[in-house]
A and B are shown apart, each in its own frame.
Chain A
Amino acid sequence: MLTFAVSRLLRAGLTILFVMTFAFVVLRLSGDPALLIMSVDAPPEAIAAFRKAWGLERPLWEQYLAYVGHATTGDFGKSMRDGRPAIELVMERVPATLAITLPALALKIGIGIPAGIYAALHRNTFADRLTMAVSVAGFTMPSFVLALVLVLIFAVTLGWLPASGADSPIHAILPIVTLGTAGAAIMARFTRSAMLEVLGQPYIRAASAKGVTWPRVVARHALPNAAIPTVTIIGFMIGSLVAGAVVVETVFAWPGVGRLLVSAVANRDLSVVQAILMVIAAWMVSANLAVDLAYGWLDPRVRGASAGGH
């Protein structure tokens, strides 16, 4: 178990390094950073001074090492817009993002998993079909469409809820519902297929054949085994919480990391984009790591199987 954890930890570190390298390479490929950040008509002396300040005339590998060194300490430079350290700007937005994504996650799990289990246990009934139909809609409807439809109904037509802003907890309702609905649909579909697969296994038939009551079969044999693949999807959802909030935060003018990313991209505020990229990568990798470890704990077979090399 220890070597398993260590190898996963190393992999996580490698992925982070990969993201850093990706950002570095893309940054360099995109042209001369001096010209990119300063305006084209800036005086040559100013550009030379900028290069010196950022060490742009040093060899590339030195720049890379310096970059990685800075990035690991959370130093991504200052935002072009207001001159504050980029990482600070990002971190102060994190609570707002969590304020809508965490309740949405609870919604996904709280609705999606029971719905999926129910649909699997009542396969081919009306309830099952309905669950699946709703979940297909959840798959194919983009979040901005769902968001706008909800705005149209609850803000414009009914006037019950505010359409955008972050002035009160009420404002969080529509973003949370938007994020939660789509996620719950995916969760339900996934849980259902995981349950169905487990219910089709010989050991389930064996258990019911030897006289174990059905509720007990479900509780003792089916649910724990279906939990294993479900943990993966939950982990993935936790990992992509921030990424998933990009569109929704923008629609509802919610002051989170996602909206910051969109405006940073629109303004080409590269330090902020890089800081967000690293924060999301670190978040994603930690979530994956947690899932891998949970997997190892839930399913002893995995400890070897997935780490045994290709």
Chain B
Amino acid sequence: MAMRDSLPAVLPATGIAALARRIAGLPLGVSFAGLWLVAMVVIALGAEFMLPYSITAFDLKARLMPPVLFGGGIAHPLGTDELGRDVFSRLLLSIRMSLLIAFFGTLIATTLGTALGFLAAHFRGRLESVILMAIDFQASMPFMIIALSVLAFFGNCLPLFIALMGFHSWERYARISRGLTLAANEQGYAAAVRQLGAGPGRIYGLHILPNIASTLIVSMTLTFPEIILLESGLSFLGLGVQPPLTSLGNMVGYGREYITRAPWIMLAPAGVIVLTTLSISLLGDWLRDRLDPTLR
């Protein structure tokens, strides 16, 4: 049937040739975005195997060396800082830290929000009003301010910081899952399955979740770059990831002091932030068109 053939998942994958053909069919921007993100994930997973230098190894003879194409040597492709430490090595670890925080933050936001949305839709009544109020509150306050006050009150450590990032935009998922569950309960398949005698676990886990997954995934492509920006902003201000750990925002904040003499310290991580968020947004836009035409 024509309908079936148009579903990409049904097509059998015949090796690398088919994969290459499919990639060639993608828009240019999307392919670049995909490649960039694959590179970032590889770096995040295997950073310690790629480090040319330990990030604490300093070489006072090679202080503030410019990157390779701007008069520097191949030994330090992105130059060195004021203690002669390798910028490239530091960048790899920063990428891993920023992606790690964004990944877990997004995961927490999605899980928490979806669960609350399900709870609101399942129990209705007072619980739903409370959750809706919390959604309104979260949406009406800039999260940057909430995050800053929590950091002020609780102090900072990495697990707390990641958990805090997870509270960013949970309300988006709560809204989506509540709305779609209500719709499904009102007229559709969820009511039918419930009527068959299924318990909540089956209804939510096996029926509603798979049906709303594509919308949730598209929203995750919005949350992920937002958390990268938020984390790097806070780290830039010195209120996020704390030394000796390093993240992209940290590096920019630290490189800012050498902006006149060694702008590469700051420009390298800044470029990575922009390219990464840009890539995810591009990929997200593309995914949205493919997966979820109902979402604008």
CB distance B154 to A30 under 8 Å?
yes
Bound-complex Cα distance A145 to B233 (A): 9
* A-B complex: 8 closest residue pairs judged by Cβ atoms: A243-B142, A265-B152, A140-B277, A30-B153, A145-B270, A140-B278, A273-B152, A240-B142
How near does chain A come to B45, taking the closest CB pair, in angstroms? 23
CB distance A144 to B140 under 8 Å?
no
CB distance B252 to A145 under 8 Å?
yes
How near does chain A come to B149, taking the closest CB pair, in angstroms? 5
CB distance B238 to A266 under 8 Å?
yes
Q: A140-B225, A144-B232 are in contact. List 5 more A-B contacts (CB 8 A).
A: A139-B281, A140-B278, A142-B233, A243-B142, A268-B152
Residues in A with CB closer than 8 Å to B59 are none
CB distance A148 to B259 under 8 Å?
yes
Q: Specify the chain B residue showing the minimal Cβ separation from A288.
A: B140
Residues in A with CB closer than 8 Å to B162 are none
Chain B interface bracket (under 10, 10 to 19, 20 to 34, 35 or more): 35 or more
Bound-complex Cα distance A145 to B278 (A): 14
CB distance A246 to B148 under 8 Å?
yes
CB distance B140 to A284 under 8 Å?
yes
Decide if B141 is an interface residue (CB 8 Å cutoff): yes
CB distance B273 to A193 under 8 Å?
no
Residues in B with CB closer than 8 Å to A268 are 152-153, 155
Decide if A90 is an interface residue (CB 8 Å cutoff): no
Bound-complex Cα distance A15 to B137 (A): 6
- Would A284 and B141 be within 8 Å (CB), given that A141-B274, A247-B233 are in contact? yes
Give the residues from 135 to 162 in chain B that come closer than 8 angstroms, CB to CB, to chain A: 136-137, 140-142, 144-146, 148-155
Bound-complex Cα distance A288 to B253 (A): 33
28 interchain pairs, CB-CB under 8 A: A15-B140, A18-B137, A19-B137, A19-B141, A23-B149, A30-B155, A137-B274, A140-B225, A140-B277, A142-B236, A144-B236, A148-B256, A152-B259, A156-B259, A239-B142, A243-B142, A243-B144, A246-B148, A261-B148, A262-B148, A265-B148, A265-B239, A266-B239, A268-B153, A273-B148, A274-B149, A284-B140, A310-B128
Residues in A with CB closer than 8 Å to B144 are 243, 246
Query: By CB atoms of chain B within 10 A, which of A29, A142, A270, A310 has the most?
Result: A142
Decide if B26 is an interface residue (CB 8 Å cutoff): no
Bound-complex Cα distance A310 to B140 (A): 18
- Would A148 and B239 be within 8 Å (CB), given that A19-B137, A284-B141 are in contact? no
CB distance A243 to B278 under 8 Å?
no
B230-268: CB near A (< 8 Å → 1, else 0) gives 001100111100000000010011001001100100110
Decide if A136 is an interface residue (CB 8 Å cutoff): yes
- Would A250 and B237 be within 8 Å (CB), given that A30-B154, A148-B259, A243-B145 are in contact? yes
How near does chain B come to A167, taking the closest CB pair, in angstroms? 19
| Majority-rule SS of B interface residues | helix
How near does chain A come to B93, taking the closest CB pair, in angstroms? 19
Query: By CB atoms of chain A within 10 A, which of B132, B232, B253, B274 has the most?
Result: B274
Decide if A305 is an interface residue (CB 8 Å cutoff): no
Residues in A with CB closer than 8 Å to B263 are 152, 156
- Would A27 and B142 be within 8 Å (CB), given that A142-B233, A152-B259 are in contact? no
CB distance A281 to B237 under 8 Å?
no
CB distance B266 to A148 under 8 Å?
yes
CB distance B137 to A140 under 8 Å?
no
- Would A247 and B141 be within 8 Å (CB), given that A15-B136, A140-B278, A145-B273 are in contact? no
Bound-complex Cα distance A22 to B249 (A): 28
Residues in A with CB closer than 8 Å to B137 are 15, 18-19, 22
Residues on B close to A: CB < 8 A? 128, 132-133, 136-137, 140-142, 144-146, 148-155, 225, 229, 232-233, 236-239, 249, 252-253, 256, 259-260, 263, 266-267, 270, 273-274, 277-278, 281, 296
How near does chain A come to B229, taking the closest CB pair, in angstroms? 5
- Would A247 and B239 be within 8 Å (CB), given that A18-B137, A151-B259 are in contact? no
Among the listed A262, A276, A280, A310, which residue makes an inter-chain contact with B239, where contact means beta carbons less than 8 Å apart?
A262
Residues in A with CB closer than 8 Å to B259 are 148, 151-152, 156
Q: Specify the chain B residue showing the minimal Cβ separation from A251.
A: B256
Q: Specify the chain A residue showing the minimal Cβ separation from B274.
A: A141
CB distance B145 to A280 under 8 Å?
yes
Bound-complex Cα distance A96 to B144 (A): 20
A265-299: CB near B (< 8 Å → 1, else 0) gives 11011100110110011001100100000000000
Bound-complex Cα distance A141 to B281 (A): 12
CB distance B148 to A247 under 8 Å?
no
How near does chain B come to A16, taking the closest CB pair, in angstroms? 10
Q: Specify the chain A residue showing the minimal Cβ separation from B255.
A: A148
Decide if A143 is an interface residue (CB 8 Å cutoff): yes
How near does chain A come to B148, taking the closest CB pair, in angstroms? 5
Decide if A195 is an interface residue (CB 8 Å cutoff): no
CB distance B237 to A156 under 8 Å?
no
Q: Specify the chain B residue showing the minimal Cβ separation from A36.
A: B153
CB distance B274 to A140 under 8 Å?
yes
CB distance B145 to A277 under 8 Å?
yes
How near does chain B come to A270, taking the closest CB pair, in angstroms? 6
How near does chain B come to A125, taking the closest CB pair, in angstroms? 19
Among the listed B133, B150, B232, which residue makes an inter-chain contact with A18, where contact means beta carbons less than 8 Å apart?
B133
